[in-house]
Amino acid sequence: MTDWNAMSDEEFRAEIRSFLQQNYPDHLRYPSRRVRWHEVREWYLMQAERGWTAPGWPAEYGGVGLSPSKQLIFIEEQERYGVARAPDQGVVMVGPLLIRYGTEEQKKHYLPKILSWENIWVQGYSEPNSGSDLASLRTEAVDAGDHWVVNGQKTWTTLAQDGTHIFLLARTDPKAERKQQGISFLLVDLNTPGITIRPIRNIAGHEEFCEVFFDNVKVPKNDLVGEPNQGWTMAKALLGFERLFLGSPKQSQNALGRLDAFATARGLHDDPAFADQFARLELDVADLAEAYEAFADRVRAGEALGADVSWLKVWATETFDRIAALSVQAAGAEGGISGGLAAGDESVDLLSLYFGALPTTIYGGSNEIQRNILAKQVLRLPE
């Protein structure tokens, strides 16, 4: 078996890059929407056969056991090549959570099925009127002896229609003194009676998100992760990693590349006003890349990310948003046309950038909430 960690970072990067170039389907590069599982299934099953489903998991649990440095390279190279993201909540969230907090029974039952893609996990966090202020959630799980009875609703659940399981936060102690207390972390089979999934069609015409309803859903007691009423601690740990992922500069770099190609073909760089706006965005993206590297260096060193990672999420999503807005503006009367616009020998889809940018400042915790976190936990400002 190859010892990937023994390679230099340069050698490992070249290995991943070569594998992608030789095997990844060209028609799935840089998709303009979140792809469905049936579209990327064959690609990710190929990776599973190679043992690459969970590069960051310890080898003893079926992962590759990559160092933090190598794991970041793995993610960065997939982003650079425009690899469509899998429904990977099981890999990036459920698996690491179970490895750290799960029972041996939970690990033995769930981890192999995540690695083989037999189980496709979705995230059950946000609710109506309880999105960014997640601790105010109202979905409840009542102790009924040998099982929990779950009632409530989750929303903005990404690709729930493709999922087999959902991990969710539910209130198990409504009398807890603080709203962050009394919340538990549950694993639920989506085929359980009482669960209804309704896709939500977005402005671009895609059904990326769903509503999920729970009506007296029975969840076995052994599908509680960790201790009862201690789910908030685990949820925060998962969100820290998510905000680093959302803070990657690749999305903005790719969007800026699309805008540059369009602007070059249309002669827009000769317009001083456009050139000034574009130069500002170039500097913003360069600053973002430097900031991301600083946080990534912490991960490479094995350090935990603090509350200040919220700043990275804000900067990345708002930079992407500004690029997308200028792209539609630069297209003029064609800015509202869906699909590719002629740009020399290329076809550049700018409207999908705009549609893709709209929700980024909301998901992963809205940027308003991220600023509150920074104000309270980093700057120590009074409420």
Indicate if 215 and 172 belong to the same structural domain: yes
Indicate if 251 and 223 belong to the same structural domain: no
Any domain includes 242: no
Most confident residue range from 89-93, 215-219, 258-262: 215-219
What average pLDDT is seen over the chain? 91
What's the average model confidence in pLDDT over 325-349? 88
What's the average model confidence in pLDDT over 290-308? 82
Any domain includes 111: no
Q: Is the pLDDT of residue 40 over 80?
A: yes
Which pLDDT does position 220 carry in this prediction? 97
Beta-bridge mates of residue 130: 127
Q: Is the pLDDT of residue 282 over 70?
A: yes
Any domain includes 236: no
Any domain includes 98: no
Q: Quick one: which of 248, 376, 233, 363 has its CA closest to 308? A: 376
Q: How many domains does the chain have?
A: 3
Indicate if 359 and 254 belong to the same structural domain: yes
Which pLDDT does position 240 carry in this prediction? 64
**CATH label of the domain that carries residue 282:** 1.20.140.10
What's the average model confidence in pLDDT over 236-261? 82
What's the average model confidence in pLDDT over 368-381? 92
Among the residue ranges 178-182, 261-265, 276-280, 330-334, the one predicted with the least confidence is 178-182
Whole-angstrom distance, CA of residue 135 vs CA of residue 241:
18
Which pLDDT does position 239 carry in this prediction? 67
Indicate if 43 and 135 belong to the same structural domain: no
Which position among 77, 140, 208, 242 bears the catalytic label? Answer: 242
pLDDT band for position 56 (50/70/90)?
A: confident
What's the average model confidence in pLDDT over 36-65? 93
Any domain includes 74: yes
pLDDT band for position 31 (50/70/90)?
A: confident
Instruction: Give the DSSP H/E element, type plus range, for residue 150.
Output: strand 147-158
Among the residue ranges 92-96, 195-199, 216-220, the one predicted with the least confidence is 92-96
Structural domain for 48, as ranges: 4-86
Any domain includes 209: yes
Q: Is the pLDDT of residue 97 over 80?
A: yes
Q: Quick one: which of 138, 211, 222 has its CA closest to 187? A: 222
Which pLDDT does position 363 carry in this prediction? 81
Indicate if 268 and 225 belong to the same structural domain: no
Most confident residue range from 179-193, 285-299, 351-365: 179-193
What's the average model confidence in pLDDT over 339-344? 83
Indicate if 164 and 63 belong to the same structural domain: no
Percent of the chain predicted with pLDDT > 90: 63
207 is catalytic: no
Indicate if 280 and 366 belong to the same structural domain: yes
Q: How far is CA 183 from CA 101, 188, 229, in A?
A: 15, 15, 5
Considering only residues 196 and 340, tell me which one the structure prediction assigns the higher pLDDT.
Answer: 196
Q: Quick one: which of 172, 285, 299 has its CA closest to 228? A: 172
